Amino acid sequence: MFRQKSFLYIVATVVLLCTSGLGLTAQNTSAQVSQNELAGKVNKIGQAMFFINRLYLDTANFENLTDKALVAIMKELDPHSSYISAKDMKAMNEPLQGNFDGIGVEFALINDTLTINSTIPGGPSEKVGIRAGDKIIKVDDEVISGTGLTIERVHGYLRGVKGTKVKVSVHRRGVPELLDFVITRDKIPLNSIDSYYALDDDILYFRLTRFAATSFRELIMALSELKVYPKGVILDFRGNPGGYLSAAIQIANMFLDQGQLIVYTEGSKVRRSDEYATGDGLLKNVPVAILIDENSASASEIVAGAIQDWDRGTIIGRRSFGKGLVQQQIPLQDGSALRLTVSRYHTPSGRVIQSPYEQGKKDEYYKQLIERYNRGENFNRDSIQLPDSLKFKTLKEERTVYGGGGIMPDIFIPQDTSYYTPFYGEILRKGLLTDYMNEYSDKHRDEILAKYSTPEKFVAKYDVPDSEITAFLEYCAGKGVEPKEGDMEISGNEIRKYFKGLIIRSVYSFNDFIKFINLEDKEILKAVEVLQRAAE
């Protein structure tokens, strides 16, 4: 009995010490469970573990039990609090930290063979002479081609600790024997700004896929590389799920005047924290338009909300997701962590970004997007019904804006589904167009480059032959997917556009692909119109 009490006392003491040292200073302790009550709950869990260990018939996997218990506990809180096991921590942090260790290639799996689409400039593979179109047949003398390759297996072969070496044997078109390369792994940048370029009238476009530790530096470097003082800036946050708060503050600061509030956070147990612009932003006098959609969340909404509240720019698109809860990542002793919601984001006018939710009902919370779609919100602004209690005023022009769930755009652009058919949806879901075009581009790469030396020439002069569309439809039929009558009349132009775009992506660059796809983008065309008018 003494051993049992000692064990439970230690468990309770450790938990209480941990929770008291998280930096979550309470403003209202009446909302907290008393120390004695909390100790009793911890004691109950400790008792259960003790008796399982002492009396259970079989050997229990306590690591698994603990992980599952913590997952279940966090599910009963808000939709964004979570438990992350030790093995998942590294993979989850990678996209936000902005780099990983590897060989520096973009690849596709074509006919069960790892095919290089491009090498990262200055990366380990480019340095030893790996080229686009090369096919990696062996890794460290192990044949990997034709073995049922998966993305996960490829990462296992090519990623590794910086400074370690990997030998790859490559088949190169026109070379009869395999070529061997020894590549020294290095830090590979994982860019959060994956496309940027100058449009007409010196308007600059930047597509941010997430807010990472490197985002601000990437934006500065992109501005430097473009060598244009912009007359307007488009920030494309569509599909951006968020990321680091610090990155959102840095980017918002680029556009705001000194002393203007960017965002504040506040929770029942965490004091209010305000973030202000410093006034030294490089773009504070440049007109800006921000593109958002239903998948823009968190840090995306912070920047959009600050720009909108200060009447600093124009928000274009559809209502954002509404993720306005602040998570504090709390490391646990085995390398796992809790991501615990501690406060809410508020825009400068006081709006709450977070959509409504009920504790313990995460599934219902994420069904909101489907419900919004079913209500027609993506197609008609009038279908969005918000009560007057959620009305706020912008801080300069006193325009009406709304809180209580996402950022409402200043200019609503409905989702375009005019080209959608079940056939089009199926070829995308099954990756048929991508797979076909990867193989097509690989076969015709040299021919395309010889005929069109630049992506601009390709865009201007290349038309997708009818024979290639016929060949693609035959390929789809071979996979059991065929268009119904009328499908190609509806979806044909969109398929042709992506056929051409995927050639650009594979043969030239991802940036050129985005630039091409954006040519007919309604949100971007509207942003250009707005910025041209603002610059007059």
Token code pair at residue 389 = 């209690």
For the purposes of burial, counting CB atoms within 10 Å of the CB of 38, is it exposed (0-12), middle (13-18) or buried (19 or more)? middle
Cα torsion 250, 214, 218, 163 to 10°: value is 160
Of 67, 293, 309, 521, the active-site residue reads 309
Q: How far is CA 452 from CA 113, 281, 444, 496, 497, in A?
A: 27, 40, 12, 18, 18
Of 67, 81, 296, 323, the active-site residue reads 323
C-alpha to C-alpha distance for 219 and 213, rounded to whole angstroms: 12
**Strand (E) positions, 103-231?**
105-110, 113-119, 135-139, 142-143, 165-171, 179-184, 186-189, 193-198, 203-208
**Strand (E) positions, 293-370?**
314-317, 325-331, 337-346
Catalytic residue status for 323: yes
Catalytic residue status for 309: yes
User: What residue type is assigned to position 282 of the chain?
Assistant: L
Residues pairing with 338 in the sheet: 83, 330
Please answer whether residues 293 and 264 qualify as being in contact, where contact means their C-beta atoms are separated by less than 8 angstroms. Answer: no
CA neighbor of 105 nearest in space, from 175, 170, 193: 170
CA neighbor of 230 nearest in space, from 283, 175, 153: 283
Residues pairing with 331 in the sheet: 337
Query: Which residues, 6 or more positions from 332, have their beta carbon under 8 angstroms from its beta carbon?
Result: 338
Please state the length of the chain: 536
Catalytic residue status for 298: yes
DSSP 129: T
Element spanning 266, H or E: strand 261-266
Of 169, 298, 349, 506, the active-site residue reads 298
Residues belonging to the active site = 298, 309, 323
